[in-house]
């Protein structure tokens, strides 16, 4: 009885979006039987549509005034879908209220099943939508992808040399490498790897492919100083550390202390040693401290509406919350609630706009760091208000100091780019449709789910880079270990980069010219300058020759950047 009351309370809170299912059930200290509570809530939400239909048709709430909607849903679920029935004392008035109408409710349930065309109870809510594959990132600080692949093959998994086509999750007991990120492995949906020894030891990290994009695009070099602006729970942070081979320094900020502690735990488990966690807001960081003034790369993944995330549980909660709203609107108004619905739409739009403003503020703050060169901005949203509109607002404010990194350096093989129609006019930069298309081509989008989608969560990434300022002193030679930039490039790309690096080596003057713009070099004499630059240019030549395509990604970035 108490159980049902607690469950009804949790449902009410979910309806008002005051938490997540897991947080309110498994993470709730007041709940004694956590697993049962979680199961009841999930199942009730899964069958919410049918149960609400039964509730409506039988007019149970109108006849039994003492029953609240959420309690009624729970009791209906247990009565209709559980063989054991409602587990409460028969003397409980709420149970009696429901049992009085047992025949009617069962009849309405059968009718609802017929309406939906379900043959068994389990299929009431329709067939499962296409499930996302389980993406796994190999922690390159500990093992190489090939070693992990061999370990799984030894475990009995079958390795597919190419991903299935047409694009689909791999079938049971098979896996393959991701075609865009070479440190990523793709497993069948619902693969449970959280007890696997490789995961427990930190070699494998369960991270969605979409959330690997920002760090792969930012690709800071080994000894750089990097800030992760909204870091918790830390998957992108540990990916940055992996890419930098634990060199340099990563400053991870987050306002939520509990989540920051999760970040500390996860990154320690992943073997990252170059991360400093700060419990502050990114917007309040002082750009003049010695550490912060050395920062050259910033990764920003600010709060967004989360509209791209596919999480079945969230879907259920959203559907339930919306229905609650509709139901209360219908109950409290006489005109059918059209005005209230419109008001709710307005609120949603306002919320998106305010999120967009916050996101612009974050990136603008990032641009104030004295030595920052590259900023990666990403959201897990599908709305243009948080994506293309934010990018165009930023370009309007900060161009020509800042520009968008072109497609060639932002996952060139990834097919889905931004929406040109959402790119607004920018005086001096964007006027024609062709300009719009070029801008849209620089950013990366992912459409959630499949089969029309990309088999991952919805996502958006844009990379800004400072115009002109392209190098920092004291960069060490390129990381020669296992590939960490992780971005596969086509053959043409690799050739193009080789060309540009050799050009940079021969034209000793142009790097020198650009480097003079660097504030820190102003004090040095011209001769030492050219010596330095010739040394570094020479480095470029030798290292570019020594590296095949991928690992040299970062250095090549600067060299080819000179020519733009």
Partner 1 sequence: MSGAQFENNNEVGVFAMLTNSYCLVAIGGSENFYSVFETELKDVIPIIHTSIAGTRIIGRLCVGNRHGLLVPSTTTDQELQHLRNSLPSTVAIQRVEERLSALGNVIACNDYVALVHPDLDRETEEIVADVLKVEVFRQTIADNVLVGSYCALSNQGGLVHPRTSIQDQDELSSLLQVPLVAGTVNRGSDVIGAGLLVNDWCAFAGLDTTSTELSVIEGIFKLQDQGPTAVVEDMRDSLVDSMV
Cβ closest to partner 1, residue 59 vs residue 480: 59
Q: Kindly state the smallest distance separating residue 121's Cβ from partner 1, in Å.
A: 15
Closest-CA residue to 189 (of 167, 160, 162, 168): 168
Range in contact with partner 1 (rule: CB under 8 A) among 20-28, 80-88, 96-104, 408-416: 96-104
CB contact set of 499 (below 8 Å; sequence gap of 6+) = none
Preceding amide of 265 cis, omega within 30: no
Token representation of residue 448:
């959630």
Q: Is residue 110 at the binding interface for partner 1, with CB under 8 A as the rule?
A: yes
- Region near partner 1 per CB under 8 A, out of 65-73, 105-113, 324-332, 541-549: 105-113
Show the tokens assigned to 485: 């930039």
- Using CB under 8 A as the binding rule, whether residue 123 contacts partner 1 is answered as no
Residues 6+ apart with CB under 8 A from 115: 53
Q: Do residues 211 and 234 touch, judged by C-beta distance below 8 A?
A: no
Binding status of residue 102 toward partner 1 by CB under 8 A: yes
Contact with partner 1 (CB under 8 A): which of 17, 111, 190, 480? 111
CB of 98 to partner 1, least distance (A): 12
Range 42-81, binding partner 1 (CB under 8 A) = 63
- Using CB under 8 A as the binding rule, whether residue 347 contacts partner 1 is answered as no
Q: Which is nearer to partner 1, 17 or 111 (CB)?
A: 111
Q: Is 100 in the site for partner 1 (CB under 8 A)?
A: yes
Q: Which of 5, 36, 104, 315 binds partner 1 (CB under 8 A)?
A: 104
Q: How far is the CB of 116 from partner 1 (least distance, A)?
A: 12
For the chain, how far is it from start to end, CA to CA, in angstroms?
A: 71
Size of the site for partner 1 (CB under 8 A): 11
Cα separation, 545 vs 564, in Å, equals 22
Q: Which residues pair with 376 in a beta bridge?
A: 299, 463
User: Which positions make up the binding site for S-adenosyl-L-methionine?
Assistant: 230-236, 254, 301
The catalytic residue positions are 380
Q: Which stretch binds partner 1 (CB under 8 A): 102-110, 260-268, 276-284, 332-340?
A: 102-110
CB atoms within 10 A of CB 194: 9
Rounded Cα distance between 274 and 502, Å, is 33
- The residue among 114 and 195 lying less far from partner 1, judged by its C-beta, is 114
Question: Closest separation between CB of residue 134 and partner 1, Å?
Answer: 39
**Ramachandran angles phi, psi of 553, nearest 5°:** -50, -45
Residue 329 in 3-state DSSP?
A: helix
* Binding flag, residue 206, partner 1 (CB under 8 A): no
Q: Which one of 42, 61, 81, 107 is in contact with partner 1 (CB under 8 A)?
A: 107
Q: Which residues pair with 392 in a beta bridge?
A: none
- Distance of CA 252 to CAs 232, 276, 295, 300, Å? 8, 6, 12, 10
Reduced to 3 states (helix: H, G, I; strand: E, B; else coil), residue 504 is helix
Strand order in the sheet with 134-138: 158-160, 174-177, 184-187, 134-138, 204-206
Selected from 106, 397, 398, 407, the binder of partner 1 by CB under 8 A is 106
Stretch that binds partner 1, among 25-33, 87-95, 110-118, 534-542 (CB under 8 A): 110-118
The minimum distance between CB 157 and partner 1, in angstroms, equals: 41
Q: Which of 34, 101, 259, 398 binds partner 1 (CB under 8 A)?
A: 101
**Interface with partner 1 (CB under 8 A):** 63, 100-104, 106-107, 110-111, 114
């Amino acid at each position: 009885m108490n159980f049902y009351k607690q469950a009804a309370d949790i449902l009410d809170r979910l309806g008002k979006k005051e938490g997540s299912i897991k947080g309110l059930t498994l993470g709730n200290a007041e709940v004694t039987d956590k697993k049962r509570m979680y199961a009841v809530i999930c199942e009730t939400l899964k069958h919410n549509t049918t149960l609400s239909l039964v509730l409506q048709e039988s007019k149970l709430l109108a006849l039994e005034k003492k029953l609240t909607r959420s309690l009624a849903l729970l009791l209906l679920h247990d009565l209709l879908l559980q063989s054991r029935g409602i587990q409460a004392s028969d003397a409980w008035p709420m149970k009696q209220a429901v049992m009085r109408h047992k025949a009617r409710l069962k009849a309405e349930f059968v009718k609802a099943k017929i309406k939906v065309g379900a043959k068994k109870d389990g299929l009431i809510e329709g067939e499962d939508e296409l499930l996302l594959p389980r993406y796994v990132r190999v922690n390159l600080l500990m093992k190489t992808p090939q070693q992990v692949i061999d370990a799984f093959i030894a475990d009995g998994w079958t390795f597919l040399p190419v991903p299935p086509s047409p694009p689909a999750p791999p079938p049971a007991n098979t896996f393959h490498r991701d075609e865009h990120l070479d440190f990523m492995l793709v497993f069948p949906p619902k693969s449970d790897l959280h007890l696997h020894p490789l995961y427990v030891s930190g070699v494998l990290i369960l991270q969605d492919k979409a959330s690997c994009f920002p760090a792969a695009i930012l690709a800071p070099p080994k000894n750089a100083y990097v800030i992760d602006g909204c870091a918790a729970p830390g998957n992108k942070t540990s990916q940055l550390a992996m890419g930098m081979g634990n060199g340099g320094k990563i400053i991870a900020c987050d306002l939520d202390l509990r989540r920051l502690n999760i970040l500390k735990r996860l990154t320690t488990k992943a073997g990252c040693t170059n991360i400093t966690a700060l419990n502050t807001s990114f917007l309040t960081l002082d750009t003049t401290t010695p550490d912060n003034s050395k920062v050259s790369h910033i990764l920003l993944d600010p709060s967004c509406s989360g509209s791209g995330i596919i999480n079945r549980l969230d879907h259920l909660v959203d559907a339930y919350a919306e229905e609650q709203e509709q139901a209360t609107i219908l109950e409290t108004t006489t005109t059918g609630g059209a005005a209230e619905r419109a008001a709710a739409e307005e609120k949603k739009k306002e919320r998106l706009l305010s999120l967009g403003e916050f996101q612009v503020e974050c990136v603008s703050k990032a641009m104030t760091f004295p030595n920052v060169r590259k900023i990666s901005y990403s959201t897990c949203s599908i709305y243009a208000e948080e994506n293309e509109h934010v990018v165009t607002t930023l370009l309007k404010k900060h161009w020509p100091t800042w520009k968008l990194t072109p497609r060639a350096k932002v996952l060139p093989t990834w097919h889905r780019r931004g929406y040109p129609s959402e790119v607004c006019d920018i005086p001096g930069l964007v006027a024609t449709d062709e300009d719009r298309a070029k801008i849209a081509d620089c950013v990366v989008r992912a459409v959630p789910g499949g089969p029309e989608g990309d088999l991952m969560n919805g996502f958006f990434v844009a990379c800004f880079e400072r115009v002109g300022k392209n190098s920092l002193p004291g960069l060490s030679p390129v990381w020669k270990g296992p590939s960490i930039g992780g971005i596969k490039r086509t053959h043409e790309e690799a050739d193009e980069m080789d060309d540009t690096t050799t050009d940079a080596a021969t034209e000793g003057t142009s790097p020198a010219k650009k480097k003079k713009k660097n504030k820190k070099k102003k004090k040095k004499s011209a001769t030492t300058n050219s010596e330095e630059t010739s040394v570094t240019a020479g480095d470029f030549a030798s290292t570019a020759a020594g590296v095949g395509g991928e690992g040299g990604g970062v250095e090549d970035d600067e060299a080819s950047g000179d020519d733009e």
